Structure 1
Amino acid sequence: MQSPKLVIFDCDGVLVDTENLANRRLAEWLNAAGFETTFEYCRKNFSGRSMASVQKEIEAETDVRLGADFVERWNAGLPDLFAHGVEAIPHVRDFIDKVRVAGVAYCVASSARISKMHITLGQTGLLPLFEQAMFSSTMVARGKPFPDLFLHAAKTMGFAPADCIVIEDSVAGTQAGIAARMRVFSYHADPFSDPEGLVKAGGILFDDMRELAGLVPIH
């Protein structure tokens, strides 16, 4: 396996541990709106997705209406939600440092808005490493599981898809990376992750960030 020229990191669940906080709140909001659900369902089905795509799916498949301001209200509440308790994923900083020392290009590409990434990466001290290369699904027509975001990131950074790898944790994100014709390494240490779904999507699975250096030849 050749060394990648660009490493694309997802944010939530790969760089920062936010998925459980976010999906607990999402389950509360959806239940309050009349969409009966559980934290576990949201964690499995909505992780790695933009709130706009979650709203679109729910309103297309049910009679529940979340309101024209749903996404706006969600984003307005994120600073409070992530004000405390957000931590970096264990050992991910070591892998980022290895990529940096080797001089390999890297970036973050997330379903989240740039403003949210500023909050979560800021809380964990990772923001200075990524603020020059941040990509959000708000920049493209279609979010994950479509390949648009990863293709946009690669094009902007100046690399062909075949020279890129993606570090993901969600099924939607893994599907997006594979659809972009990139190698995808899918992290599944979280007890609520979906290893079977990640394998089916085409990801190369690992459950410890310290394993990644052995899986990805960085030089």
Structure 2
Amino acid sequence: MFNGARYDGILFDCDGVLVDSERITSRVWAGLLTNIGLPTTTEQSLATYLGNSMARCLEIVTEQLGHTPPDSLLTDFYAQVKVALASEVVAVDGIVEVLDALDAADVGYGVASNGEHEKMETTLGATGLLSRFEGRRFSAVDVARPKPAPDLFLHAAQQLGFAPSRTIVVEDSPLGVFGASTAGMTVIGYAELVSPERLMAAGAVHTVFNLRELLAFIR
């Protein structure tokens, strides 16, 4: 696909696509929500908050609690999740091979995440991927609206010189898939946590269960 010059490059989501962090962050978040009176399991946390910006997560918590959560919720989350990610996170299986293939084919790539830059630096640093995305990391804090709005994808593509219609995006959440699709990009859904049906319904044109399946699109 890339060798046929149909696409300029590829954008990856970070959490759940580059780094296996979703269950770690969901576990920490669930524990903190339970502590403030909103009993939540890790699986419930994944189902409710996957792919959302932190601002949206706080809105959901406020809706469910019926009042604003304590200020300590956010500070405790950032402190605890940083420690957990630094010691537990690993690269998603197959991503190093995919990045190696993109480098070998001279195909550009970047990361577009609803997570903050500091979080990306923690997770990508802990997994040895940070240097591969130097100057190619884009966060929702860089734009007016986070995913599911298309803003972040359009911003990342512009900065990297990719035409939206010639950009592939790999996403693992329906929110991210929808945002990239709305941006006019071709979306491949990584169905590790979410069913292929949900990702396709959000706008993915193809789904994979293992990132090594992406190699077929590169070679």
Q: Is residue 2:117 matched to residue 1:77? A: no
Matched pairs, number: 215
Q: Is residue 2:182 matched to residue 1:161? A: no
Shift of 1:69: 5.3
What is the SS of the residue equivalent to 2:148?
A: coil
Match of 1:142 among 142, 145, 149: 145
| Structure 1 pair 70–139 and aligned structure 2 pair: CA distance change class (3 A) | farther
Equivalent residue letter for 1:78: V
Equivalent residue letter for 1:180: A
Write the distance in 2 (CA, Å) between the matches of 1:137 and 1:71: 17
Shift of 1:153: 0.5
Mark the runs of 5 or more structure 1 residues left unpaired by the alignment. Answer: none
Write the distance in 2 (CA, Å) between the matches of 1:202 and 1:79: 32
| Structure 1 pair 87–75 and aligned structure 2 pair: CA distance change class (3 A) | same
Mark the runs of 5 or more structure 2 residues left unpaired by the alignment. Answer: none
Match of 1:208 among 193, 207, 210: 210
Given that 2:28 and 2:81 are in contact with CA atoms closer than 8 Å, whether structure 1 keeps it comes out as no
Write the distance in 2 (CA, Å) between the matches of 1:185 and 1:43: 20
Shift of 1:124: 0.8
Matches of residues 185-204 of structure 1 in structure 2 within 5 Å? 185-189=188-192, 192-203=193-204, 204=206
Given that 2:170 and 2:189 are in contact with CA atoms closer than 8 Å, whether structure 1 keeps it comes out as yes
Aligned counterpart, 2:154: 151
Aligned counterpart, 1:180: 183
Aligned counterpart, 1:92: 95
Q: Is residue 2:168 matched to residue 1:132? A: no
Q: Deviations over 1:118-141 (max 9, x none)?
A: 111111111110122100011112
| Structure 1 pair 159–69 and aligned structure 2 pair: CA distance change class (3 A) | farther
Write the distance in 1 (CA, Å) between the matches of 2:37 and 2:178: 30
Write the distance in 2 (CA, Å) between the matches of 1:121 and 1:105: 18
Detail structure 1 runs of 4+ shifted over 6 Å in the superposition.
none
What is the SS of the residue equivalent to 1:135?
A: strand
CA RMSD of aligned residues (A): 1.8
Q: Is residue 2:4 matched to residue 1:4? A: no
Write the distance in 2 (CA, Å) between the matches of 1:78 and 1:131: 23
| Structure 1 pair 3–72 and aligned structure 2 pair: CA distance change class (3 A) | farther
Shift of 1:28: 1.2
What is the SS of the residue equivalent to 1:45?
A: helix
Given that 1:92 and 1:209 are in contact with CA atoms closer than 8 Å, whether structure 2 keeps it comes out as yes
Aligned counterpart, 2:17: 14
Given that 1:113 and 1:136 are in contact with CA atoms closer than 8 Å, whether structure 2 keeps it comes out as yes
Instruction: Output the TM-score relative to the length of structure 1.
Output: 0.91
Q: Deviations over 1:8-54 (max 9, x none)?
A: 01111101101011101111111222223322121122112222111
